Amino acid sequence: MLRLVVVRTLVVALLSAAIVSLATVAETPSPAGADPIMVAYTIPGGGGSRITVGPDGNLWFTENDANKVAKSTTTGVITEYTIPTPGSQPHGIALGSDGNLWFTERDGNKIGRITTAGVITEYPIPTAATNPFDIDAGSDGNLWFTENSGSSVGRITTAGVITEFPMPGGTDTFTITAGPDNNLWAVGGVGLNRITTAGVVTPFPTQNSAGINYLGAGPDGNLWYSAITGGFRIGTMTTSGTDVQYPYAHGLPGDVVAGPDGNVWVVGDQLVKVRLVPDPTGEFTSLTPARLLDTRPGFSTIDHVAQGGGAVGNDSSIDVQITGRGGVPTASKVSAVVLNATVTEPNNSSFLTVWPTGVTRPTISNLNYGFAQTVPNLVTVAVGTGGKVSVYNLRGSVHVILDVVGFYSTESGPLGSRFHGVSPSRDFDTRIGSGGVPAAKIDQGGTLKFNVLGKGGVPASGVTGVVMNVTITEPTGDSFLTVFPDDVSRPNASNLNFSPGLTVPNLVAVRVPANGTIDFYNSFGATHLLADVVGYYDDVKATEAGRFIPVTPFRRADTRVASPFPAPGKIPANAGVIILFPGIGVPSTGVGTMVMNVTVTEPDAGSYVTVFPSDKPLPLASNLNFGPGQTVPNHVITNVSTGPTPGGPATPGRIIFYNKFGNTHLVVDVFGYFTNDSFAANEANAAAALESGPEIALGDGLNALTAAGIANGSTARGH
């Protein structure tokens, strides 16, 4: 069934209060990176009725109560023209084939013509008191109008000759529009009426004819209308008379128009889009990794832009052009990108923040590193002004590398794939040979090939991409790992960078080729490798689930500041913190999967952290691996719970962050979310403009998961 989707509230130049005088402009700038400035104007003569575009590039509209026709430039300069007949009550207006504007005078019982110079001529309707209501241009070059009380429709030539055509059964008519079949269509009687240019009227009943008022030609070759009696609804009728109606739950429906986006738009209490074309908003396109930034001298990027510019300095930031490079479309088509970020050669301990250019730098981090460390991390971030992202370094100087692996579309972007999160599951572990891989390290220059289809909740077919947490452990040398589709040559990019003896995790998003095989290439030395799958992309779009909605990054939790555990607030061994997400910095409904950066800091023992929905059992998987004293970040994508936490909070929307050994602090930063199948009712919230991140009380929505709770399936105590 076709669905109605509410979009964000807009200031719309339609119907009353739509055109405003320049002298009374009230202008409210949007935050940087948000929608364009919205300007509210006041019509000098009061409210407007109907509106059209003139041949002079101005907007022309009727002022019913002021007895005027007005024009406005697109900068809001308004000129009004008083109609000669007092109290004529002008209503409908349309552009004629002669280049003039034609309008109805309901109480004047006339059709008016106004030139673009403002000269008005009136033509009386032969029949008295017909209450002419609406008007539109026909395919025959004439103007056609409805008679609200005259039981006829009328035709007026551009020379002013009027002919009236009786409606069957003496029906009064209301809205009229030129149909896609070169006929006129009008509301009246049993529903809709087709009127040929010869004046032949054929009624077509609708399912419920009562209350049908506004009518328009849709972009699909059908007629669309709104109705208000017997329950609010909208309907569509083919030119052969097949009628379908849909319930309308968005307040009073009004005028109906074909939008420039190929959808039908209804204006009333809200502006509502009726989807007729696929909407790519938040859909993912996976790319072969491409290097977009490398600040090191002598190293190149995919297009030799943003290369060799030198390290990012102390308390400094750089802006990096992302869109229009490496397979990423132009800025208007991209909402967010997925980057593999790597820092190398830092001369001080520091952190790196990546955020949309043009908004205030948020208090979050993507990578944390010590002196001389090379640290990678996946980053999902909205693109900002001009399709750029900004990169900030706190202390010292550091070289930064950015490799793009995919992007999420805006409404005008390309169709892509939807994300489906799964309970974390281990695909393979070379230490023990699980998952069908050899029980051996990957040697220098070696490649491990693994087919991801049909494993760990990933379907056996139809998969376009997969998201895994990949961990290297026990490496024998300085090296890097590149993960890429098996159907392309190895790209100039890296996913993990590591030194001897370290255990390093990183989230990896990679396109899945037709054969389902992903390649894992190790450059130097030898290393063990683990991969835990957390989700996949495909083209299943039966619901609204799986769209990515970026937000300006914000800090959701920091146990150094607020914790459900006793001071100093660290998560103890075999325990975890349960965090609520919907309604705190993101919408309260429509949220299915969180996209986060999770950082452990000040651990007193070697351990790992596993992140999973609170209504699921602890999986055999890990998201972060760390040693004592290390600060380790990792990108994490995890479903929120859909049911109660066993022995804990009853409300859904929660995620557990479980620590295995010792004690550690935990920091959680949010970058966006994937929608669930209830998202349609929440789309207005999802379309919110990027601005400074929300102010979050870091202690809100946190609960402690105890060791006993882990043993019993999960017991929580409130904070």
Confidence of residue 267 (pLDDT cuts 50, 70, 90): low
**515 and 530, same domain (yes or no):** yes
Residue 480 reports pLDDT greater than 70: yes
**317 and 454, same domain (yes or no):** no
**473 and 529, same domain (yes or no):** yes
d(CA 547, CA 641): 18
Q: Looking at residue 692, what is its pLDDT?
A: 46
Ranges 213-222, 402-411, 703-712: which has the least confidence: 703-712
**469 and 338, same domain (yes or no):** no
Ranges 84-93, 372-381, 700-709: which has the least confidence: 700-709
Residue 6 reports pLDDT greater than 60: no
Q: Provide the strand spans (E) within 162-315.
A: 162-166, 173-178, 184-188, 191-195, 201-205, 212-217, 223-227, 233-237, 243-247, 253-258, 264-268, 271-274, 284-294
Confidence of residue 7 (pLDDT cuts 50, 70, 90): very low
Q: Looking at residue 208, what is its pLDDT?
A: 65
Number of domains in the chain: 4
**423 and 465, same domain (yes or no):** yes
Residue 386 reports pLDDT greater than 90: yes
Q: By the 8 A CB rule, do 674 and 548 touch?
A: yes
Bridge partners, 114 (sequence order):
101, 120
Residue 172 reports pLDDT greater than 60: yes
Work out the number of other CB atoms within 10 angstroms of the CB of residue 432. 11
The predicted model gives 295-308 an average pLDDT of 96
Q: Looking at residue 75, what is its pLDDT?
A: 54
The domain that holds 314 is classified in CATH as: 2.60.120
Residues 6+ apart with CB under 8 A from 327: 287, 288, 290, 404
The predicted model gives 254-261 an average pLDDT of 74
**477 and 335, same domain (yes or no):** no
DSSP annotation string for 651-681: SS-EEEEEE-SS-BEEEEEEEEEEE-TTGGG
Q: Looking at residue 569, what is its pLDDT?
A: 94
d(CA 277, CA 45): 39
Ranges 112-116, 253-257, 295-299: which has the least confidence: 253-257
Ranges 244-253, 558-567, 704-713: which has the least confidence: 704-713
**348 and 461, same domain (yes or no):** no
Model-level pTM greater than 0.75?
no
What are the pLDDT digits (tens) for 664-687?
999 999 999 999 988 764 443 444
Q: Looking at residue 437, what is its pLDDT?
A: 96
DSSP annotation string for 218-239: -TTSSEEEEE-TTS-EEEEE-T
Confidence of residue 278 (pLDDT cuts 50, 70, 90): confident
Q: Looking at residue 305, what is its pLDDT?
A: 96
Chain position carrying tokens 């490798």: 529
Domain limits at 384? 280-416
Residue 108 reports pLDDT greater than 80: yes
Residue 19 reports pLDDT greater than 60: no
Work out the number of other CB atoms within 10 angstroms of the CB of residue 22. 13
What are the pLDDT digits (tens) for 409-465?
998 899 999 999 998 899 999 999 999 999 999 999 999 999 999 999 999 999 999
Residue 249 reports pLDDT greater than 90: no
The predicted model gives 241-256 an average pLDDT of 82
What are the pLDDT digits (tens) for 503-548?
989 999 999 999 999 999 999 999 999 999 999 999 988 888 999 9
Q: Looking at residue 226, what is its pLDDT?
A: 86
Ranges 147-156, 480-489, 689-698: which has the least confidence: 689-698
**267 and 401, same domain (yes or no):** no
Q: Looking at residue 484, what is its pLDDT?
A: 94
Work out the number of other CB atoms within 10 angstroms of the CB of residue 74. 10
Which among 30, 108, 120 has a CA at the least distance from the CA of 80? 120
Token pair, residue 162, equals: 């009027």
**566 and 442, same domain (yes or no):** no
Among 510, 538, 566, residue at a domain's last position: 538
What are the pLDDT digits (tens) for 610-649?
999 999 999 988 899 999 999 999 999 999 999 998 888 8
**43 and 179, same domain (yes or no):** yes
Confidence of residue 167 (pLDDT cuts 50, 70, 90): confident
Confidence of residue 493 (pLDDT cuts 50, 70, 90): confident
Mean pLDDT of the chain: 85
Q: Looking at residue 653, what is its pLDDT?
A: 94
The domain that holds 128 is classified in CATH as: 2.130.10.10
Among 382, 416, 450, residue at a domain's last position: 416
Q: By the 8 A CB rule, do 536 and 463 touch?
A: yes
**247 and 331, same domain (yes or no):** no
Among 256, 274, 292, residue at a domain's last position: 274
Ranges 43-47, 69-73, 423-427, 660-664: which has the least confidence: 43-47
Ranges 1-10, 146-155, 389-398, 605-614: which has the least confidence: 1-10
Q: Looking at residue 48, what is its pLDDT?
A: 66
Ranges 21-30, 268-277, 312-321, 586-595: which has the least confidence: 21-30
**423 and 521, same domain (yes or no):** yes
